[in-house]
Amino acid sequence: MKNKNFNNLKAVFVNCTLKKSPEKSHTDNLFQVSKSIMEKENVTVEEIRLVDHEVATGVQPDMKEHGWEKDEWPELFEKIFSADILIVGTPIWLGERSSIASKLIERLYAMSGMTNDKGQYLFYGKVGGTIITGNEDGIKHCAMGILYALQHIGYSIPPQADAGWIGEVGPGASYGDTEWKGKKLSPPLGTDSDFTNRNTTFMTYNLLHLASTLKEQGGYPSYGNSRKDWDDGSRWEFENPEYR
């Protein structure tokens, strides 16, 4: 039974494929499963393919101030930060997330020292998840690193916040392919995986439930976690609660 209204939420999917548009991305194929659920629930959805943009390497908010001629990160960050939910998608390469996914995390980390109007770190009240695709083992390993990084900078992670699909080890067809070496694949490869479809559905709804709950209550209370209060002298009270 549906008991939530999610139409006030916004989600951004950041695809960290190595392929520039319009080349087909298998990660994007799996994104569509989660995106279709959100769109059915009237969630505002946006997708960014990071490799399509000139995002500088570094851990400062704007690398143009640190020797780079161009850096589109500040504009992309505004889109990411305006969303209640961030879903990081990546293929698996050599058992790890893509280099583009690492760059995304580094640039998010660059913003993590900023604070909101409560004096909390900027990403408090935002929710994160991840989607992984590939032809080799590593879904849980990649998800572990991505979700740790997101929570470390302030994103909240619900239960079952990762989903993925991997095919046979080695070169071969990937998620959503309809043909491989002249052979038609029907249905598109992986789309009938009950395990992947279930995990993607549970991940999507858990992200929606947590984001909705946090938004309804205005994020986290600032008691005990405000950088502003800490810097203003409240650290003594935090360290000595018996004197409150």
For residue 2, is it within any domain?
Answer: no
For residue 1, is it within any domain?
Answer: no
pLDDT truncated to tens, each residue of the chain (244 aa)? Answer: 456 789 999 999 999 999 999 999 999 999 999 999 999 999 999 999 999 999 999 999 999 999 999 999 999 999 999 999 999 999 999 999 999 999 999 999 999 999 999 999 999 999 999 999 998 889 999 999 999 999 999 999 999 999 999 988 878 889 888 988 889 989 998 899 999 999 999 999 999 999 999 999 999 999 999 988 888 876 656 566 554 4
The whole-angstrom separation of Cα 4 and Cα 242 is: 40
Encoding tokens for residue 71? 């850096």
The CB density around residue 139, as the number of other CB atoms within 10 Å, is: 21
For residue 5, is it within any domain?
Answer: no
Is-contact 157 150, C-beta < 8 A? yes
Which of these, 16, 139, 33, lies nearest to 89 by C-alpha position? 16
The whole-angstrom separation of Cα 76 and Cα 240 is: 42
pLDDT digits (tens, 9 = 90+) for 90-124: 999 999 999 999 999 999 999 999 999 999 999 99
Is-contact 102 142, C-beta < 8 A? no
Domain CATH for 189: 3.40.50.360
Q: How open is the CA angle 19-196-160, to the nearest 5 degrees?
A: 100
For residue 150, is it within any domain?
Answer: yes
Domain count, the chain: 1
Instruction: Provide the domain limits for residue 151.
Output: 10-243
